[in-house]
Amino acid sequence: MLLRSLGAGVSGLKNFQTDLDVVGNNIANVDTYGFKKGRVNFEDMFSQQLQGGQSNQNAIQVGLGSKSGSIDNIDTSGTINSTGNPYDLAINGDGYFVVSDGTNKYYTRAGDFKLNSNGTGLVNSQGMALQGVNGSFTGLSSFTVSSDGTVTGINSDGTTTSLGKVAIATFKNPSGLEKVGDSLYTPTTASGTAGTTGAGTIEQNALEGSNVDLTDEMTNLIEAQRAYQANAQTITTADQVLQTLVGLKR
């Protein structure tokens, strides 16, 4: 009995330490453009069966603690904020921008782009090229990005130049994407391969904020802290009972 309660308490401490880590990361990224918050899903561990179920009696089982089943990316949209910067893009929908380092493709909701050093395309903060956009921006008086991603350059004489179309990808299970840092994601078997159905629309001169609600996260932080303390108390209580049993032989 005591070993089971100690083990259950330890599993709870480990789980809520993970929960605190996830909540802390959410809070740290409350102002990160395109950030998607995480959520820990707990599951109970297998139970020790003391007696099997019978026709007129339920089974007698003792649980052995809990475990972290998954940490999901919550793929709800963040608030789209106007910036007035024509290089800033936001997706109103479920799509992801596609960027490439020349070898591998990555996916992101952070649309803070800028011109590359040659003036022939847009890149993100890590210098990865936004896919679908190509052509010289040099000498243009301005450019526009329509809701479907079409990029049109406007020359000084009022004529227009086609600069491509922003590539947007979608996933059947975006919560299954793997975070690789720098607000970038890569597909996994859980997310499925990239598609284009239901990508949404693009808004120029705007950026999508984080979907972290600070009020919710502070509440989650308090809950995780109290749960951690409660599991620590379980271990303390089991230790006290064990100490009492050891003292019986004196």
Segment (H or E) for 49: strand 47-51
User: Average pLDDT of 179-193?
Assistant: 94
Q: What is the pTM of this model?
A: 0.85
Q: Say whether both 69 and 84 belong to one domain.
A: no
Two tokens at 207? Answer: 């950026």
pLDDT tens figures, 38-53: 999 888 776 666 666 6
Q: Say whether both 150 and 34 belong to one domain.
A: no
**CB distance 108 to 97 below 8 Å:** yes
Q: Say whether both 22 and 106 belong to one domain.
A: no
Q: Say whether both 202 and 100 belong to one domain.
A: yes
**CB distance 194 to 171 below 8 Å:** yes
| Mean pLDDT, the chain, integer | 90
Residue 130 in this model has a pLDDT that exceeds 90: yes
Segment (H or E) for 181: strand 178-181
Domain of 190, in residue numbers: 80-208
Q: Say whether both 71 and 163 belong to one domain.
A: no
User: Average pLDDT of 199-226?
Assistant: 95
pLDDT tens figures, 22-76: 999 999 999 999 999 999 988 877 666 666 666 677 767 677 778 888 888 999 9
